[in-house]
Chains A and B, each alone.
Chain A
Amino acid sequence: MTNAIEVQHLTKIYGQNQRGVTPVLAVDHISFCVRQGETFGFLGPNGAGKTTTINMLTTLIPPTDGAATVMGLDIVRDAYGVREAIGIVPEISNIYEEYSAWNNLMFTARLYGVPAGERERRAEELLTVFALWEKRGVISAGFSKGMKRRLCLAMGLMHRPQVLFLDEPTSGLDVQSVLVIRKIIQSLQEQGVTIFLTTHNIEEASLACDRVAIIHYGKIAAIDTPENLKATFRGMQSVEVAFAAGAEEVGGLAQLIGVREARRFGDKWRLYTDSPGQVIPQVVDWARERGMPLAAINTLGPSLEEVFVQITGITPPAQPEGEGRPGKRKRGAG
Chain B
Amino acid sequence: MDIKIPHSLLTQFLETKASPETIAHDLSLCGPTVDQLHHRKSDDLYDLEIITNRIDSASAFGVAREAAAILPEFGHKAKLLNNPYQNQLTDLGQLPSNQPIKLQILDSSLIPRFTAITLSNVEIKPSPKQTQDWLELSGQRPLNNVIDVTNELTLKYGQPVHVFDLDKITNQTMVLRESKKGEKILTLDGRTHILKGGDIVIEDGAKNLIDLCGIIGGGLSNVDDHTKNILLFVQIYEPKHIRRTSLYTQERTLAAQIFEKSPDPELVLPILIEGVRLLTLRANAKISSNLLDIYQKPKASKPIILDFNWLNRFIGIDLKAQKINSILNQLGFTTKLINQDKISVSTPSWRKNDINTKEDLAEEITRIYGYFRLPSILPANIIPNTQTDPLLKNEYQARSYLSNLGFTEIYNLSLVSQELFASTNLELDPKLVLNNPLSSEYQYLRTSLIPSLLTNLANNRGKTEPPLKIFELSHTYHSNNKTLPNETSTLTLATYGLDFLESKGHLEALAKHLHFDLHFNPLTSPSKPFIQNQSAKIYSDKTLLGIIGVIDPVTTTNFSLQETTIIIDLDFNKLNLKIDPIHHFTPVPRFASIFEDITISSTKPVGNLLSNLQQAHPFIINVSYLSSHQHNHTFHLEFNDPKGNLTQDQVNKIKTTIKG
A and B interact: no
